[in-house]
Amino acid sequence: MMLEMLDMVRKLPPETTLGAFVAGLDRMVAHAECRYCKEPISRLSVAEDQPWFHDDPSRMRGCHAASYRPGKGWNDSLPKKWSATPA
Q: Which residues bind Zn ion (CB under 5 A)?
A: 34, 36-37, 63
**Nearest approach, Cβ of 39 to Zn ion (angstroms)?**
5
Yes or no: say if 69 and 60 are a contact pair by the CB < 8 Å rule.
Answer: no
Q: In angstroms, rounded to a whole number, what is the distance separating the alpha carbons of residues 48 and 8? A: 17
Residue number, 44 or 67, with CB nearest to Zn ion:
67
Q: Give min distance, CB of 46 to Zn ion, in A.
A: 22
Distance, CA of 25 to CA of 16 (rounded, Å): 13
Q: With respect to Zn ion, which residue has the nearer C-beta, 9 or 86?
A: 86
Q: Which is nearer to Zn ion, 44 or 52 (CB)?
A: 52
**At closest approach, how far in Å is the CB of 74 from Zn ion?**
12
CB atoms within 10 A of CB 72: 8
